[in-house]
Chains A and B, each alone.
Chain A
Amino acid sequence: MAKIIPARLPQPKPRPAPGPAALKRRRAALARRAERPAPLIQPPVIETAHLTMGPCTDADTEAFMDFCATDRSRFLGGPSGRTDAWRSVAIHVGQWHLRGYGTWWLTDKATGKPAGRVGLWHPEGNDEPELSWVIYAPFEGRGYAAEAARAARDWAYTTLGLDTLVSHIDAENTRSIRLAQHLGAAPDGVHTYDHGAQVTIWRHPGPDAL
């Protein structure tokens, strides 16, 4: 990496302490800045029959932390406490900035409630983006995961121009395996995580096959 520090750093200049008027001006400037929205990379909003797929809200964060407290999160490394669960939310939010793609937060249109998190997960160490899905307990068995996964897969193929996608699924996660089959995916080898755990790679049909 290039050397980044100039050989001679500028030395701090002694500055007079600001008076009350200067402090007031400074506070006002800070308040004005606080009102300016930040430029952020957000997931595009996608509407499906029963779901709105969009960026993460406070309600999504709360619902995900609740989900992670339950045994339903066991295939994501749970159950976990709120700090760890929040960290997963922050990672997925930050991934959009780093990759330009990521996961969507699902809202059930009928009730307005958070329903899950579905989309592309691609941390360093994985060779290719993975289509992943989480549906919260109250919305299980309605086909929501398939609905959102199809929409995310279509977006990846049409907007990103990907020609293939995989899902990593634990051999004991029978519900997810059924969903992968339902989506037309087929086993395509094994992925070994750094910590040693192994999952089946399920490869989805490419855009030409859909």
Chain B
Amino acid sequence: MTDALHTARLILRPPVPGDWDAFHDFMMSDRSTAFGSHKDLAKAFRSFAAELGHWQIFGYGMWAVTVRGDDTCIGLIGPWTPPDWPETEIGWMILSADIEGTGIATEAARASIKHAYDVLGWQTAVSYIAPGNARSIRLAEKLGAVLDPDAPRPAADTLVYRHPKPKDIA
């Protein structure tokens, strides 16, 4: 298991129980309408527990994104691969509104995709995005991902964005 990923501004580390507060505040806010746990405490608890469980079961999962020098979790970005999931997914939840426009989500997503290709050995990566989640679509496009209308998807109305393949990113 990789302990952490370091980028110019960020440290991506496995999520810990203490990240619950940040996750909870996001899910109870108006910024999380695209998520099933939006303003639902019982569902939010399950979602966060599943993030920790994913790490323990597979030895990897969505990274807690932190700015160097501050261990606060500002987002969860990275691999999400339950059994029977159509393909290997890079998911993201941008918990903190403060990082919008800073390029931090892009920086973190790039690092997590690179790790998935280089260390986890993925051959492809997709992101499943709720239609109408404009912020998320912008991030996918910024990462060079393109809409794949023919790809299998977990729910009929989900958008599938396919990231550039390992050979296409330097």
Residues of A within 8 A of B (CB): 1, 3-6, 9-13, 15, 17, 27, 30, 33-34, 36-38, 40, 56, 61, 65, 81-83, 86-87, 89-95, 97-98, 123-126, 193-194
Contacts and interface: CB of A to CB of B under 8 A. Distances in A.
Given A94-B54, A98-B20, 18 more contacts: A5-B74, A9-B9, A15-B8, A30-B2, A33-B1, A34-B119, A36-B1, A40-B56, A56-B57, A82-B82, A86-B83, A91-B50, A91-B53, A97-B17, A97-B49, A123-B46, A124-B41, A194-B42
A38 B1 CA distance: 7
Given A5-B96, A9-B9, A89 B84 contact: no
Given A30-B119, A91-B50, A95-B49, A13 B83 contact: no
Contacts of B52: 90, 93-94, 97-98
A94 B51 contact: yes
B71 to A, nearest CB: 10
Size range of the chain B interface in the assembly: 35 or more
Nearest to B70: A4
B49 A34 contact: no
Interface in B4-62: 7-9, 14, 16-17, 20-22, 25, 40-42, 44-46, 48-57, 59
Scoring A13, A27, A37, A93 by chain B CB atoms within 10 A of each residue's CB, the highest score goes to: A93
B53 A36 contact: no
Given A4-B96, A94-B51, A38 B59 contact: yes
B152 to A, nearest CB: 12
Contact of B82 (A12, A34, A83): A83
B131 interface: no
A98 B59 contact: no
17 contacts: A3-B98, A4-B22, A4-B67, A5-B70, A5-B98, A9-B9, A11-B9, A15-B8, A30-B2, A30-B119, A82-B84, A83-B82, A87-B50, A90-B52, A94-B53, A123-B45, A124-B45
Interface of B: 1-3, 7-9, 14, 16-17, 20-22, 25, 40-42, 44-46, 48-57, 59, 67-70, 72, 74, 82-85, 96, 98-99, 102, 104, 107, 118-119, 154, 170
A58 B158 CA distance: 29
B56 A93 contact: yes
Nearest to A102: B49
Scoring B22, B52, B84 by chain A CB atoms within 10 A of each residue's CB, the highest score goes to: B52
A1 B154 CA distance: 34
Given A34-B119, A194-B40, A90 B50 contact: yes
B121 to A, nearest CB: 12
A19 to B, nearest CB: 14
Contacts of A93: 49, 52-53, 56-57
Scoring B2, B46, B84 by chain A CB atoms within 10 A of each residue's CB, the highest score goes to: B46
